[in-house]
Amino acid sequence: MPAIYSEPSDSERNVAAGACPRASPRHSAFNERLQPGQCLIPLLRDGIEVFLDFFNWLRIQRGQAFVSQVINAVRNGPFWQDSVIFITYDEHGGYYDHVAPLQARQGNARTPDGISPGQCADLSNPPFSQQPGGGAECAQNPFSTTDTSVKDAELLCPAMTANPAGPYPDECASFNQLGFRVPFMAVSPFSKPHYVSHTIGDHTSLLAFIEKRFLSLDDDNGRLHLTKRDQHADTLEDLFDFERSPSLDTPVGQALPPASDCTPH
């Protein structure tokens, strides 16, 4: 999906045209540059990390203020009545979760795309390299002699060292395992007030939501998808009431950056 890379500056250089449009949520062009299915990613400013994330060694109020800017920009913009903002993270920020990770919903398949650990596929030498195990860096890496797909998989599954090119051992872990839980929020006029979902989703549920809403098919295939992972992922639709827009007029507060910032520079 297209991305807006955001910097905490209002200067025109931050909205220069490019392959990935850039805009600050405080800039007047922000809403004009929004596209269907768009992700918003903080960016370096002049090559310097601006610390807008939530790492535990940073002042997380800066990240909260950034998210607040994005939400307020959309909430007060011309497209709010048709918008859904998903807020999530790539990790849970802690060191323990009392709920054990579950297996992925992907039609009971051990991998979402037929490629097991230790195998890879790419476009380095098609059509051979497009087959599982035929990719360029399966057994060799131009930057490292110790870090290859095969060696990484052997550390995960010592049983495959006997025959790295053979079938992946059934007793070893594969790509059918979810990770620890991460925070997830949906901000939208369609969001159900005070609702907590108890469905099991993952990051590919974001793709599944877009596929279900905009890429549904009329035949038995259901919807367009990339792999079995997003094909079987929960579509997140239990979070919303698309008929009544119950949160259309809900006010949105504002999170301020820290008054005294000790974040390293």
Q: Is the pTM of this model over 0.75?
A: yes
Is there a domain that residue 103 lies in? no
Q: Are residues 187 and 135 part of one domain? A: no
* Per-chain mean pLDDT for the chain: 79
Note the pLDDT tens digit of each residue in 203-216.
999 999 999 988 88
Do 48 and 132 fall into the same domain? no
Residues 50 and 168 in one domain: no
CA-CA distance, 2 to 21, in Å (whole number)? 8
Distance CA 41, CA 11 (A): 18
Q: What are 170-199's pLDDT values in tens digits?
A: 899 899 999 899 999 999 999 999 999 999
One domain for residues 170 and 218: no
185 and 86 in a common domain? yes
Domain co-membership, 37 together with 132? no
Contacts from 108-115 at CB under 8 Å and sequence distance 24+?
Answer: 109/176, 109/228, 110/168, 110/174, 110/175, 110/176, 111/174, 111/175, 111/176, 112/175, 112/176, 112/227, 112/228, 112/229, 112/230, 113/227, 113/228, 113/229, 115/175
Cis peptide before 193 (omega within 30 of 0): no
Q: What domain range includes position 160?
A: 113-174
pLDDT score of 123 more than 90: no
Do both 56 and 118 map to the same domain?
A: no
Do 125 and 136 meet the contact criterion of CB atoms below 8 Å apart? yes
Same domain, 86 and 33: yes
Looking at the structure, tell me whether residues 58 and 156 fall in a common domain.
Answer: no
In a domain, 258, yes or no: no
Q: How many domains are contained in the chain?
A: 2
Mean pLDDT for the stretch of residues 22-39: 65
Model confidence pLDDT, tens digit, residues 59-80: 778 888 888 988 999 999 999 9
27 and 88 together in one domain: yes
Residue 256 located in a structural domain: no
Which of 124, 142, 174 delimits the end of a domain?
A: 174
